[in-house]
């Protein structure tokens, strides 16, 4: 397959590396008019100059790795022109952007469209999924997630901190992954309450979001998404009837989220353990992240077979965007506690 990558920033580079190593990819071209000479080094023959037309006729699949303000437009065009589209999260700046993608997808019913929710493919999450329910730990009682980063010295300068370009703050940028995982475990969620705060960075976007959600079956869920977690944190706690799971850390390029691991604890009352409330735990450490490769592999396989992708579907994207829409709507109704 011949792949066109729109945007060669952080995500574009990751996708490029994965596609380069994929056995079914015969060609890659990169469209990014903002690339400077240094960034273009080593991309001769791959990078398209701004004057060159987009080679829609050449490409079999398009990867949208752009800033949020152009995502919807490009995604819609790629659906029309190419029909096989992988779109990074978030699927647009807001609900309206997302609806443009939905409309374009509806007009191209045979298209393959997948969104980049790679956290589903992380080994700790896959293992957790296998262990709940019939996997031994029983039904879920509650979910609690914390996902955050420190922002960094140039956080304010990044397009992600520009309301016009990004459309939302840390919840839309990073918390969306945790919301997707909540949906993976619990299905449809609705917003019970939310508090948004722009407490440190002052960019006019939330740098902290606290969400209280509930599944259709009434299972409570809590998310803290933050751009002021000075210690980078990924942590999801899954309380089940017969035990609990705690996934922490993420295998990432920098390793700043810590070693990826899954704690498995089983409910033990005083008749089964010496120390009540302090059960025996097992910890699985994961030393390899294949989430990027597996996600792209699934997309390319779906595209090749002309079927919908199994993950990161339009419906998955709708679920998270609905929650984010409702949370922002709540925040706007309560400006004192909400976004500036």
Would you tell me which residues interact with another protein (CB under 8 A)?
123, 127, 130-131, 135-136, 264, 273-275, 278-288, 290
DSSP per-residue letters across 127-165? HHHHHSBTTTTBSEEEEEEEEE----TTGGGSGGG-HHH
**Complex with another protein: residue 77 or 126, whichever CB lies closer:** 126
User: Contact 15/66 with Cβ under 8 angstroms?
Assistant: no
**Complex with another protein: residue 57 or 282, whichever CB lies closer:** 282
Question: Minimum distance between the CB of residue 279 and another protein, rounded to whole angstroms?
Answer: 8
Query: Rounded to an integer, what distance in angstroms lies between the CA atom of residue 313 and that of residue 307?
Result: 11
**Complex with another protein: residue 60 or 295, whichever CB lies closer:** 295
User: Contact 281/263 with Cβ under 8 angstroms?
Assistant: yes
Tokens 């939310």 sit on residue: 194
* Helix (H), strand (E), coil (C) string for 156-182: HHCHHHCHHHHCCCHHHHHHHHHHHHH
**Complex with another protein: residue 221 or 291, whichever CB lies closer:** 291
Query: Rounded to an integer, what distance in angstroms lies between the CA atom of residue 75 and that of residue 220?
Result: 34
Cis status of the peptide bond prior to 259, with omega within 30 of 0: no
**Complex with another protein: residue 285 or 334, whichever CB lies closer:** 285
Question: Minimum distance between the CB of residue 281 and another protein, rounded to whole angstroms?
Answer: 6
Question: Minimum distance between the CB of residue 274 and another protein, rounded to whole angstroms?
Answer: 7
Question: Minimum distance between the CB of residue 293 and another protein, rounded to whole angstroms?
Answer: 11
Beta carbons within 10 angstroms of residue 296's beta carbon: 26
Question: Minimum distance between the CB of residue 282 and another protein, rounded to whole angstroms?
Answer: 5
**Complex with another protein: residue 38 or 275, whichever CB lies closer:** 275
**Complex with another protein: residue 103 or 281, whichever CB lies closer:** 281
Tokens 């918390």 sit on residue: 175
Question: Minimum distance between the CB of residue 288 and another protein, rounded to whole angstroms?
Answer: 5
CA-CA-CA-CA torsion for 308, 311, 313, 317, nearest 10 degrees? 180
**Complex with another protein: residue 42 or 277, whichever CB lies closer:** 277
Question: Minimum distance between the CB of residue 278 and another protein, rounded to whole angstroms?
Answer: 5
Q: Which residues have a Cβ under 8 Å from the Cβ of 185 and sit 6 or more positions away?
A: 128, 129, 132, 140, 143, 238
Question: Minimum distance between the CB of residue 127 and another protein, rounded to whole angstroms?
Answer: 6
Alpha helix (H) residue ranges in the chain? 10-20, 37-40, 68-81, 95-107, 123-131, 163-166, 170, 176-186, 291-305, 314-333
């Amino acid at each position: 397959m011949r792949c066109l990558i729109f945007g060669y920033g952080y995500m574009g580079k990751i996708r490029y590396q994965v596609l380069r190593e994929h056995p079914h990819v015969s060609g890659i071209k990169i469209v990014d008019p903002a690339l400077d000479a240094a960034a273009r080094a080593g991309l001769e023959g791959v990078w398209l100059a701004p004057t060159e037309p987009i080679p829609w006729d050449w490409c079999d699949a398009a990867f949208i790795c752009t800033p949020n303000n152009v995502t919807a437009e490009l995604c819609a065009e790629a659906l029309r022109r190419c029909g096989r589209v992988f779109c990074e999260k978030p699927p647009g700046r807001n609900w309206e952007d997302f609806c443009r993608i939905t409309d374009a997808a509806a007009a191209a019913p045979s298209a393959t469209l997948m969104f980049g929710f790679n956290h589903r493919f992380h080994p700790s999450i896959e293992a957790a999924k296998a262990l709940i329910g019939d996997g031994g730990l029983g039904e879920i009682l509650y979910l609690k997630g914390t996902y955050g980063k420190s922002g960094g010295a140039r956080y304010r300068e990044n397009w992600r901190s520009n309301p016009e370009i990004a459309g939302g703050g840390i919840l839309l940028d990073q918390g969306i992954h945790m919301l997707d995982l909540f949906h993976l475990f619990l299905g449809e969620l609705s917003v019970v309450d939310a508090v948004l705060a722009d407490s440190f960075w002052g960019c006019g976007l939330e740098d902290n979001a606290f969400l209280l959600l509930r599944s259709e079956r009434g299972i409570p869920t809590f998310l803290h998404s933050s751009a002021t977690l000075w210690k980078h944190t990924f942590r999801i706690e899954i309380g089940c009837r017969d035990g609990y799971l705690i996934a922490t850390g993420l295998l990432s390029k920098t390793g700043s989220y810590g070693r990826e691991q899954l704690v498995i604890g089983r409910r033990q009352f005083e008749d089964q353990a010496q120390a009540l409330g302090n059960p025996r735990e097992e910890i699985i450490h994961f030393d390899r992240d294949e989430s990027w490769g597996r996600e792209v592999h699934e997309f390319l396989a779906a595209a090749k077979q002309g079927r919908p992708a199994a993950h990161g579907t339009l419906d998955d994207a709708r679920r998270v965007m609905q929650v984010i829409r409702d949370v922002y709507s709540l925040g706007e109704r309560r400006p004192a506690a909400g976004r500036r």
